[in-house]
Amino acid sequence: MPRIKKQIMVKNKQGLHARPAALFVQVANKFDSRITVSRNHEEVNGKSIMGILMLGVEANTPIMIEVDGPDAQRALSELENIVSSEKEK
C-alpha cells in the first residue's frame, strides 16, 4: 500500500478556511486512504472539517499532507489541486 507525504504551499487566498476547507474535506472523504494534514507539528484528520478548521491555515503557509492507502496518489493530486490553486473554486 502506498504511503505518500508531500509539503504543499497553500495558495488559495482564503487559506484553508471557508469554502476551500469544506471542499477539501468533501474531496478527502471520497477516498479510502487515510489522510492527515499537519502544520507546525499539529496533526489532524484530513477528512474532518473541525480538524482542518482547527489548524487555521492562512494563505501562503506550507502544510504537510500525508496519504496512506490504495488510492493515495489520486487523493494527493486532487487535494493538492485544491490548496495550491490561487483562484477560489
Partner 1 sequence: MIELKGIAAAPGISIGPAHKMGKEEYIVPKKEILEEEIPLQIQLFEEALIKTRKEIIELQRRIGSEMGQEEAQIFDAHLLVLEDRMLIEEVIARLKKEKICAAYIFSGVLKKYIDVFSKIEDEYLKERIADINDVGKRVLRHLLGAEARGIGSLTERVVLVAHDLSPSDTATMHKNKVFAFVTDIGGKTSHTAIMAKSLEIPAVVGVEEATSKIKAGDLLIVDGSMGIVIVNPDEETLATYRQESERLKGVAEKFLLVKDLDAVTLDHKKVEIFANIEFPDEVTSVKQHGAQGIGLYRTEFFYMNRKDLPTEEEHYQAYKFVAEEMNPHCVIIRTLDLGGDKFLSQFEIPQDMQPFLGWRAIRFCLARPDIFKLQLRAILRASVHGNLKLMYPMISGVEELRQANKILEEAKEELRKSQVAFEEDIQAGAMIEVPSAAMTTDILAQEADFFSIGTNDLIQYSLAVDRVNEKVAYLYEPAHPAVLRLIKNIIEAAHSADIKVGMCGEMAGEPSFALLLLGLGLDEFSMPPQVIPELKYIIRSVTLKQAQEIAFRALRLSTGKEVEEFSQAKLREILK
The span from the CA of 7 to the CA of 39, in Å, is: 10
CB 54, min distance to partner 1, A:
6
Angle between helices 18-28 and 72-83 (to 10 degrees): 170
Q: How far is the CB of 3 from partner 1 (least distance, A)?
A: 19
**Residue ranges binding partner 1 (CB under 8 A):** 14, 17-19, 21-22, 25-26, 30, 44-45, 47-51, 53-54, 56, 89
Q: Which of 17, 68, 69, 71 is catalytic?
A: 17
Nearer to partner 1, 9 or 54 (CB): 54
For the CB of residue 60, give the shortest distance to partner 1 in the complex, in Å: 16
Are 36 and 8 in contact by the 8 Å Cβ rule? The answer is no
Residue nearer to partner 1 on the CB measure, 22 or 64: 22
Find all residues with CB under 8 Å of 22, minimum gap 6, and list them: 49
Asked if 17 is an active-site residue, the reply is yes
Contact of 83 with 43, CB cutoff 8 Å: no
Active-site residue set: 17
